[in-house]
Amino acid sequence: MNDRIAELIRNAKPQAPSPDALLAALGSRDMPAATSGGVWLLRAAALFTLAAGIGAAAALLPRMNADTPAASDLERVGGLAARIESLESQAGSVTPEQVAEQEARIAALETQVQARTAIEQAVAEYFVKRDAAERELWQERHLEHVRRHYARDMEGTLAELKAQDLPEAKLVRAREILEQHGKDIEALIKQSYAQGGEHRRGHRDMRQQFASLARGAQDSLARVTGENNWGSLLGESPEDWAPTSEFEDLSDFDSMMNWMRRSSRS
Amino acid sequence: MAAEPPGSTRDDSLVDDARGGLPGSFETLVRRYHAAVYRQIMVWVNGDHAAADDVAQETWWRVARGVKRFEGRSGFYAWACRIAHNESKRWLGRNARKPRLVPKPDEEHPGDQSATGEAVRLALSKLPEKFATPLMLELWEDMSLKEIAHALGLPEGTVKSRLFRAREKFREVWDEMESES
């Protein structure tokens, strides 16, 4: 998010009072069916009267679950709520026909809401699956990039060592060290993707992990070859293993930004 | 906010306990969510603390009355928020014809008086509820994606998408307000 906008919204956070006064007003510290205060007593009396005639309608209203998806439905539910409240206030004059009418309208709305909920759930599941598939695709493209570039650099380094007449046994050992380092890098990158959307936590030590892997491989190579300068090949920071040209494709822009953001946290 | 973070897995068992009338369970839910619900109401009633107090009381009364029938198709917090939103709309409807008074300086809430703060809350009130709610949970309640998803009873992918769209919409509204001023 644009930092300025986020900061603006954060700074506009209103203060909230303690809930103590509210709880006192609700009149109960346990299950809150009972309430206190003149208004609540009047309301309870109205509800009791209503229960004799239109209890079913009053009972159905709270079942309008809050996860209803359509604003128009909600407005209609709000209208019905107002209507039922109106009926509550004049319960003595309510006719069975009025009750039946409200029940029928509520039943029809409930049917619509259930259908909408099912559709919204299906759409939500689709997006979750699509996100997972995209993440998998981005990971695979990222790893392909790392494998390709790392293999090229590794073979170049081994060719250079061979040209320096390093004994065959040491060359084999150097290849083993470099191949293992490549696998470790891949595992670290996979671990990052596996933690997916949780961008607030985790990966705080990504930089240290890359540096630690590089140091381990450099030490091993130094022992085999007697040379210490391996920094150009064994990148020590996450940025060294971030795709570059591949991510110029706009479709991978999010992936690149995610990778750079999370991996650059220290 | 209570020590237990909003959207924690304990909501489900607390709601079950509240349904069964277990002493203290409903109070715990109120203590956990009252501040977050109150702040959302503040946005919807144009920053009027007195109105927010009334609407919050009515909201929790309705939640209390309905909790036995709450079916858990959404998160408890999302359900409470939806009720709060409806109650706020009802309050606005009832007060629509009254002349809008210039709010008096609020000595109890001096931090809420800045013009920018009011403008931001006005901009938030112009967003659809399904976008504004996750945005406020993220930036005001410091909830993670996972916690928002649990509190609202939505998949994380849906929350992520709504947050993205909420930011875009807020930016549009804010830019429009800035250009008008």
Q: Calculate the CA dihedral of residues B147, B148, B154, B160 and round it to 10 degrees.
A: -110
Res. B69: pLDDT tops 90: no
Measured from the Cβ of residue A82, the count of other Cβ atoms closer than 10 Å reads 14
Q: CB-based burial of residue B170 (10 Å sphere; 0-12 exposed, 13-18 middle, 19+ buried)? A: buried
pLDDT, residue B38, reads 94
Q: Which residues of B touch A14 (CB under 8 A)?
A: 38-39, 42-43, 47, 109, 111-112, 117, 121
Query: Closest Cα partner for B28 from B84, B76, B82, B83?
Result: B76
First to last CA, chain A: 20
Q: Which band of pLDDT confidence, cut at 50, 70 and 90, is reported for residue A250?
A: very low
| More confident of the two residues A36 and A253 | A253
Interface test with B, best of A2, A50, A67 (most B CBs within 10 A): A67
| More confident of the two residues A35 and A170 | A170
Alpha carbon of A52 to those of A60, A84, A166, B4, B49: distances in Å?
15, 14, 98, 41, 38
Residue A43 main-chain phi, psi, to 5 deg: -65, -40
Q: How big, in percent rounded to 5, are the helix, strand and coil portions of chain B?
A: 70, 0, 30
Instruction: Note whether A65 contacts B: Cβ–Cβ < 8 A.
Output: yes
Residue B21 main-chain phi, psi, to 5 deg: 80, 20
Nearest-angstrom CA–CA distance, B16 and B76: 11
What is the rounded average pLDDT of the residues B77-94?
85
- This model's pTM is above 0.80: no
The residue whose two tokens read 């949780």 is A198
Nearest-angstrom CA–CA distance, A88 and B45: 26
Q: Which band of pLDDT confidence, cut at 50, 70 and 90, is reported for residue A92?
A: low
pLDDT, residue B55, reads 92
pLDDT, residue B101, reads 44
Q: CB-based burial of residue A118 (10 Å sphere; 0-12 exposed, 13-18 middle, 19+ buried)? A: exposed
Least CB–CB distance from A32: residue in B26, B36, B124: B26
Res. A131: pLDDT tops 60: yes
The domains of chain B, with CATH numbers, are 9-180 (1.10.1740.10)
| More confident of the two residues B52 and B8 | B52
Q: Which residues of A touch B139 (CB under 8 A)?
A: 6, 9-10, 13
Contact check, Cβ <8 Å, B140/A13: yes
The residue whose two tokens read 């399904």 is B130
Q: What is the least distance, in Å, from the CA of B121 to any CA of chain A?
A: 7
- Range ranked top by mean pLDDT from A39-48, A122-131, B51-60, B96-105: B51-60
A 67-96 → B contacts, CB under 8 A = 67-68, 71, 74, 77-78, 81-82
Alpha carbon of A124 to those of B59, B137, B165: distances in Å?
28, 20, 15
Res. B1: pLDDT tops 80: no
Res. B56: pLDDT tops 90: yes
Least CB–CB distance from A13: residue in B27, B39, B81: B39
pLDDT tens-place string over residues A175-234: 999 999 999 989 988 887 776 543 333 345 677 788 888 888 888 888 888 766 655 567
Contact check, Cβ <8 Å, B121/A74: no
Measured from the Cβ of residue A220, the count of other Cβ atoms closer than 10 Å reads 18
Contact check, Cβ <8 Å, A127/B155: yes
Cα Rg for chain B, rounded, in angstroms?
17
Alpha carbon of B91 to those of A252, B50, B66, B84, B129: distances in Å?
47, 12, 20, 10, 16
What is the rounded average pLDDT of the residues A228-247?
60
Tokens of A245: 């040209």
The residue whose two tokens read 């699956």 is A129
